[in-house]
């Protein structure tokens, strides 16, 4: 067992799972009661469903009866009742910040909301390995969106000094990382890699001139290989976090790596991306969650559209008992379920990009007789041994998606220009 100082909130991070679910339900019960009382939207939708907060007596009741909220509902709600819609549960005088997110949706925060939001991120960054005394270059956008300011204040809560660099100007980032002896980089993985390249362009060697030891990244990580490549190029540990603007921080990697611990304060579930049916805890599906961070605009049972593989349930070597999720597979709208297994274009891309001789591809799913079929058409750019390449791809794809696909290799330029990446020809 690790020392207390290894945890941000030892009680929640190491609680037996059943006890944690009980705790989550108690928070949820109060939050639903609050939303029902204060937010006209929730009162309306629950009354329409003839559900009172007191009818929800367990997490199972909630999974069964509580309606989802989605990005499109949020957009529509604000469009109908500008500026903030009737989800709003506090007086405007209590608002401190308004952040814009894609839609557009404006997310209002009270002081308390902002404090909770930054605490969730601080918890994650601490678990990733950031510590008091670190100097952090924050490279995400500071204006309009919540990213920059929230992340900045979260690192502040950990006790770090922040360089509010923001996006772009990779050479200036490289220069400042060297000059300040920054120890932590907070970035999208592609921009972290770009900073490394920019450093080399101006004659710096990140391995010698940088003092970085940790990169905290979100989104875009495609595979364990790409993560290792980033780790080598900057000589840092790379740790991932996952969150959405609507939910705050949902999961983070500990220093053991190998998956992202779910934040124990978040009610997390997966649903079938096609039918919305709640799935048993730990099964792969679309992420749906309630994070309790927003009193100004309560967001309950939010469907993220993000697809995730199976959770790891066993206690981690770090001592945390919270389940670990693998990285996001893709968007729920871009997937097909073949023989009961999710097939995501990104997984296919992970394989194809290993071979520079290959180019565009198309995934074709069909159900000609009694079973699903999966075919992947791939263009090749130069002369290759077709049989050998085909066998190699079948094997690599089987590793990546756990299915045997029929691989069709075609000469560059012969695939129809408007072929969709995923063509699901099944009737249902």
Q: Residue 318 CB, nearest distance to Zn ion (Å)? A: 3
CB nearer to Zn ion: pick between 73 and 254 = 254
Whether the CB-CB separation of 199 and 230 falls below 8 Å is answered with no
CB nearer to Zn ion: pick between 56 and 316 = 316
Instruction: Give the one residue of 318, 374, 378, 393 binding Zn ion; rule: CB under 5 A.
Output: 318
CB nearer to Zn ion: pick between 195 and 318 = 318
DSSP secondary structure letters along 22-45: HHHHHHHHHHHHHHHHH-HHHHHH
The CA distance from 41 to 424, in Å, is 37
Q: Residue 142 CB, nearest distance to Zn ion (Å)? A: 31
- By CB under 5 A, residue 313 contacts Zn ion: no
Q: Residue 124 CB, nearest distance to Zn ion (Å)? A: 12
Q: What are phi and psi of 269, to 5 degrees?
A: -145, 170
- Select the span of 66-74, 136-144, 251-259, 300-308 touching Zn ion (CB under 5 A): 251-259
CB nearer to Zn ion: pick between 184 and 318 = 318
Q: Where are the alpha helices (DSSP H) in 340-385?
A: 345-352
CB nearer to Zn ion: pick between 261 and 278 = 261
Q: Which two tokens stand for residue 319?
A: 């001592």
- Select the span of 209-217, 250-258, 282-290, 345-353 touching Zn ion (CB under 5 A): 250-258
CB nearer to Zn ion: pick between 66 and 121 = 121
CB nearer to Zn ion: pick between 251 and 318 = 318
- By CB under 5 A, residue 241 contacts Zn ion: no
CB nearer to Zn ion: pick between 325 and 374 = 325
- By CB under 5 A, residue 258 contacts Zn ion: no
CB nearer to Zn ion: pick between 262 and 316 = 316
The CA distance from 162 to 52, in Å, is 46
Q: Residue 400 CB, nearest distance to Zn ion (Å)? A: 25
- Select the span of 46-54, 319-327, 337-345, 350-358 touching Zn ion (CB under 5 A): 319-327
Phi-psi region of 292 (alpha: psi -120 to 50; beta: other; left: phi over 0): left
- Binding-site size for Zn ion (CB under 5 A) equals 5
Q: Which two tokens stand for residue 343?
A: 């097939």
The CA distance from 219 to 327, in Å, is 9
Q: Residue 86 CB, nearest distance to Zn ion (Å)? A: 41
Whether the CB-CB separation of 98 and 125 falls below 8 Å is answered with no
Instruction: Give the one residue of 256, 382, 406, 412 binding Zn ion; rule: CB under 5 A.
Output: 256
Q: Residue 241 CB, nearest distance to Zn ion (Å)? A: 13
Whether the CB-CB separation of 69 and 303 falls below 8 Å is answered with yes
- Select the span of 69-77, 164-172, 314-322, 371-379 touching Zn ion (CB under 5 A): 314-322
CB nearer to Zn ion: pick between 318 and 393 = 318
Helix (H) or strand (E) holding 257: none
- Of residues 90, 64, 91, 86, the one with CA closest to residue 73: 86
Handedness of CA 52, 57, 62, 65 (dihedral sign): negative
- By CB under 5 A, residue 320 contacts Zn ion: yes
In terms of Cβ atoms closer than 10 Å to its own Cβ (0-12, 13-18, 19+), residue 95 is middle
Q: Residue 316 CB, nearest distance to Zn ion (Å)? A: 3
- By CB under 5 A, residue 254 contacts Zn ion: yes
The CA distance from 87 to 115, in Å, is 20
DSSP secondary structure letters along 134-187: -EEEE-S--SSSSHHHHHHHHHHHHT-EEE---SS-HHHHHHHHHHHT--EEEE
CB nearer to Zn ion: pick between 222 and 312 = 312
- By CB under 5 A, residue 260 contacts Zn ion: no
Q: How big, in percent rounded to 5, are the helix, strand and coil portions of the chain?
A: 35, 25, 40
Question: Could you say which residues in the range 143-162 bind Zn ion, by CB under 5 A?
Answer: none
Angle between helices 17-38 and 40-48 (to 10 degrees): 100
- By CB under 5 A, residue 316 contacts Zn ion: yes
Q: Residue 342 CB, nearest distance to Zn ion (Å)? A: 25
- Select the span of 49-57, 221-229, 309-317, 357-365 touching Zn ion (CB under 5 A): 309-317
- Select the span of 298-306, 308-316, 343-351, 372-380 touching Zn ion (CB under 5 A): 308-316
Half-sphere exposure of 100 (CA within 13 A, CB side): 8
Which residues lie near Zn ion (CB under 5 A)?
Answer: 254, 256, 316, 318, 320
């Amino acid at each position: 067992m690790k020392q207390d100082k290894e945890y941000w909130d030892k009680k929640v991070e190491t609680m037996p799972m059943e006890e944690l679910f009980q705790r989550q339900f108690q928070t949820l019960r109060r939050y639903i009661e609050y939303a029902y009382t204060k937010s006209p939207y929730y009162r309306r939708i629950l009354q329409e469903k003839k559900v009172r907060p007191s009818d929800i007596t367990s997490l199972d009741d909630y999974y069964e009866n509580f309606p989802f909220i989605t990005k499109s509902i949020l957009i529509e709600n604000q469009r109908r009742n500008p500026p903030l819609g009737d989800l709003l549960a506090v007086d405007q005088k209590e608002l401190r910040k308004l952040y814009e997110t894609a839609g557009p949706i404006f997310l209002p925060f009270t002081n308390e909301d902002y404090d909770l939001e930054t605490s969730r991120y601080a918890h994650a960054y601490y678990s990733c390995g950031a510590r008091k005394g670190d100097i952090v270059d924050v490279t995400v956008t500071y204006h309009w969106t919540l990213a920059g300011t929230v992340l900045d204040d979260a690192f502040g809560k950990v006790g770090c000094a922040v360089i509010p660099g923001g996006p772009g100007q990779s050479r200036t980032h490289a220069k400042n990382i060297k000059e300040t002896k920054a120890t932590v980089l907070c970035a999208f993985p592609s921009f972290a890699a770009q900073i490394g390249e920019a450093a080399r362009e101006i004659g710096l060697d990140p391995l010698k001139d940088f003092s970085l030891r940790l990169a905290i990244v979100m989104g875009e990580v495609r595979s364990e290989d790409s993560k290792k490549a980033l780790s080598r190029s900057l000589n840092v540990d790379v740790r991932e976090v996952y969150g959405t603007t609507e939910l705050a921080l949902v999961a983070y990697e500990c220093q053991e790596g190998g998956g992202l611990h779910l934040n124990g304060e978040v009610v997390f579930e997966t649903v079938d991306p096609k039918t919305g049916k709640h799935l048993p805890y730990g099964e792969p599906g679309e992420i749906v969650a309630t994070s309790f961070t927003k009193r100004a605009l309560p967001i309950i049972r939010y469907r993220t559209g993000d697809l995730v593989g199976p959770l790891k349930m066993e206690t981690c070597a770090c001592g945390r008992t919270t389940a670990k999720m693998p990285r996001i597979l893709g968007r729920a709208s871009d997937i097909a379920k073949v023989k009961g297994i999710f097939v995501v274009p990104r997984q296919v891309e992970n394989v194809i990009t290993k071979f520079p001789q290959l180019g565009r591809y198309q995934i074709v799913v069909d159900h000609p007789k009694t079973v699903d079929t999966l075919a992947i058409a791939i263009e090749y750019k130069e002369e290759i041994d077709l049989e050998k390449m085909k066998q190699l791809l079948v094997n690599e794809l089987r590793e990546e998606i756990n299915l045997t696909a029929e691989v069709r290799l075609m000469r560059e330029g012969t695939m129809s220009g408007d072929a969709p990446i995923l063509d699901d020809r099944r009737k249902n």
